[in-house]
Structure 1
């Protein structure tokens, strides 16, 4: 067995550095079923306020401390068995990439030990292990050699690698001429086709197109069926839930939740939504309602200000705020049973001329599956052109579908063009959070609801 152990100056000298029951299980780390076991992994960086402080600390006669310890990882322990896939989730900066670098041996942990069995192939970041001046074929040999494979082994796999990458004649061109999509296809083709025992992928597939992503997941499944292991870092909760056997939620360098991917994903999603929606005061947006005696357009408490939310677009128009109203009560709603008569309102403004405005909303479940999508293009509703500084308000009136209990989010967008061809001016991810809370509802997961009767009202200000 090819077992590599990494340790710092204090690790393994006393069990205090190894948390939980893992200290008593070190003798079992050579289990034939274990692919990777991490025990008490910590990675500490010294942060100095000034460059001079590093020199002062090294020369101080009494070893005065001028730095602050920053824990990129703190006491991380887990085990991955052969044939399993583990999904690692967490916010940016949580320590995901650092953990993968430790597992692959790129980084040495400050304390802790890593046991691994067999060869590891890692796709840690776009461009790692590739020379932009070399051709695609030359980089296949170069990258594979860095991972410890002989020329004979690479020769046996080269046709499969080039075929999987689908880069055609570009295989003989310098990698610096590749698009990001071509680059990731080549890198993944190398990683998956050199027949590793453990595959590690760090969000790199987010660069590829949907067709290539599906192709990769099919290969992932084949990889698992061969009894091999995968460590998969992603922000896609749907992929983690549907593909992984175990999920690890890293928060501030430590394991916050570990276990069933569905449960871990739900905890993570709730944390991300409510953490981002918490305001400076003590009032949660879930309890805010509309003052029905006042003009709703002037009552800010009913609205979700989306200015700081995750979004993308070409510009020219922007969504400013959204809300969901129960048409019977006139109140803002964040929790529904399903079947209520509701109105989802989008307000925005143009900063450039928009010839053929398109306003739409999408409801997604916690895994990113589309429940339904609605826009004026779909229902042949034309909206007159917008001029710079024009404001627009669009109301979507419909009966909220009866869906499986859980959290859902509305995404809102403004575009310019037609249903088939348009420019996305502003797309706001997860603009509004809503919960379905009806214990009697039993519906299939991943459904896609088509709204037959939608009444849209467009007002200009």
Structure 2
């Protein structure tokens, strides 16, 4: 079974002040250093147990790809160590070292042997690799004529021709058409059911939350936070709006849920309540029931423009629906210091049976990335049950009729 243990991992590159400094360092008899180390990763520690799926997220330049390269051994760490057990398959970059002048079939034979397959195994697996990649006659064409999506199809097909104990995937899966992305993730999910350990880097919030058991956030080369995918993604979302006087914190609510709160604090969420048709607070509603989300806001400072929005998320933290007063053309302007406002968002809960949370955002413009006064995740929890409508599956209820035609 596959496991990964990363201990005190760090990577530094040498920075030389001039082009001659490197040569001088080599020949200096005093062994004096003529460079300064530039750390791109430092003090990274985590482990992935057998059969577990770990997601890695972070902004560009946070060190995600460098970390994966050190884990698979294509880059050596400056400090620390990586220990892995089981057979490893890694898909870090498009092409996986494919030679552009060789055909897809020839590259499969070469790349497959680098992954540990024998020639006989590759010959036996070739029909399955061809069928999964679905590149047709291009399998016998030089790789230089392939699109990036075709390279990804073939590379993924080779890397996953046999179920590995550990599967490591960088953002290569973000290339290509939606059909093959779904097909690839279906294979990954099937491997997970069979016990494969997964380490995946992706900007796709839904993919991380749907596949992974845990997630880690890299920021400026350090492990910023580790935990359940929803909590880590909430923290990452808050970091994207980081500005001067902007804070990001996490608090544990009375129910035990971890709530991420970010913003400048110039306006704050005072109260959020879900109301039924009679105006009474409710925690359980029925499918298709008309409800009102009441949000009370207090302006700590004078606010020239205020947009209030809400987002409903399912139990996995994936967005079901969201809107705000900017899109509803109800922007509030020229609010005084200390002023309170109350907004009622009225809607019909055409959502599926399950548990949901509500996030509330106070900002300017169409999103919180410009001026984030306050963003609160999990400010409200509620459940949906089916009491009146016909049985259905899924996250949304669509009123449906059917006609039979001769």
> Could you say whether these structures have the same fold, taking a TM-score greater than 0.5 normalized by the shorter chain as the test?
yes
After superposition, give the CA deviation of every residue in 1:318-354 in whole Å (9 maximum; x if it has no partner).
Answer: xxxxxxxx9xx9963354579xxxxxxxxxxxxxxxx
Structure 2: unaligned runs, 5 residues or longer: 247-262, 269-296, 332-343, 348-355, 385-393, 399-406
- Alignment of 1:442 onto 2:366: no
- Alignment of 1:200 onto 2:168: yes
2: CA distance, partners of 1:215 / 1:247: 23
Map of 1:371 onto structure 2: 321
Change (3 A) 1:225 1:259: same
1: CA distance, partners of 2:101 / 2:357: 52
Q: Deviation of residue 75 (structure 1)? A: 2.0
- Alignment of 1:249 onto 2:249: no
- Alignment of 1:186 onto 2:162: no
- Alignment of 1:406 onto 2:359: yes
Q: Deviation of residue 181 (structure 1)? A: 1.3
Contact 2:240 2:369 in 1 (8 A): no
2: CA distance, partners of 1:56 / 1:407: 58
Mapping of residues 262-411 of structure 1, within 5 Å: 262-275=230-243, 287=266, 332-335=305-308, 369=319, 371=321, 396=329, 400=345, 404-406=357-359
Mapping of residues 60-139 of structure 1, within 5 Å: 60-139=28-107
1: CA distance, partners of 2:323 / 2:153: 31
Mean Cα deviation higher: 36-45 or 226-235: 36-45
What's the C-alpha RMSD, in Å, of the aligned pairs? 3.8
Q: Return the structure number with greater strand share.
A: 2
Change (3 A) 1:265 1:277: farther
Contact 1:337 1:438 in 2 (8 A): no
1: CA distance, partners of 2:12 / 2:360: 36
- Alignment of 1:162 onto 2:120: no
- Alignment of 1:223 onto 2:191: yes
2: CA distance, partners of 1:408 / 1:136: 49
2: CA distance, partners of 1:108 / 1:440: 46
Map of 1:390 onto structure 2: none
Q: Deviation of residue 185 (structure 1)? A: 1.0
2: CA distance, partners of 1:401 / 1:449: 17
Q: Deviation of residue 69 (structure 1)? A: 0.7
1: CA distance, partners of 2:266 / 2:396: 29
Q: Deviation of residue 287 (structure 1)? A: 3.0
Change (3 A) 1:429 1:268: closer
Q: Deviation of residue 107 (structure 1)? A: 1.3
1: CA distance, partners of 2:309 / 2:136: 52
Q: Deviation of residue 128 (structure 1)? A: 2.8
- Alignment of 1:238 onto 2:178: no
Map of 2:112 onto structure 1: 144
- Aligned residue among 130, 135, 140 for 1:172: 140
Query: Secondary structure of the residue that 1:274 maps to in structure 2?
Result: coil
2: CA distance, partners of 1:337 / 1:209: 31
2: CA distance, partners of 1:197 / 1:48: 41
Q: Deviation of residue 400 (structure 1)? A: 4.4
Structure 1: unaligned runs, 5 residues or longer: 1-32, 279-283, 290-325, 339-362, 375-392, 414-427, 451-461
2: CA distance, partners of 1:364 / 1:276: 28
Q: Deviation of residue 195 (structure 1)? A: 2.8
Change (3 A) 1:440 1:62: closer
Change (3 A) 1:394 1:78: closer
1: CA distance, partners of 2:109 / 2:380: 58
2: CA distance, partners of 1:181 / 1:229: 25
Query: Secondary structure of the residue that 1:404 maps to in structure 2?
Result: strand
2: CA distance, partners of 1:436 / 1:249: 19
2: CA distance, partners of 1:217 / 1:235: 14
Change (3 A) 1:233 1:437: closer
Q: Deviation of residue 116 (structure 1)? A: 1.1
- Aligned residue among 202, 205, 209 for 2:177: 209
After superposition, give the CA deviation of every residue in 1:352-399 in whole Å (9 maximum; x if it has no partner).
Answer: xxxxxxxxxxx999967462689xxxxxxxxxxxxxxxxxx9974597
After superposition, give the CA deviation of every residue in 1:178-199 in whole Å (9 maximum; x if it has no partner).
Answer: 1111111111111112332211
TM-score calculated relative to the size of structure 2:
0.68
TM-score calculated relative to the size of structure 1:
0.60
Number of matched residues? 319
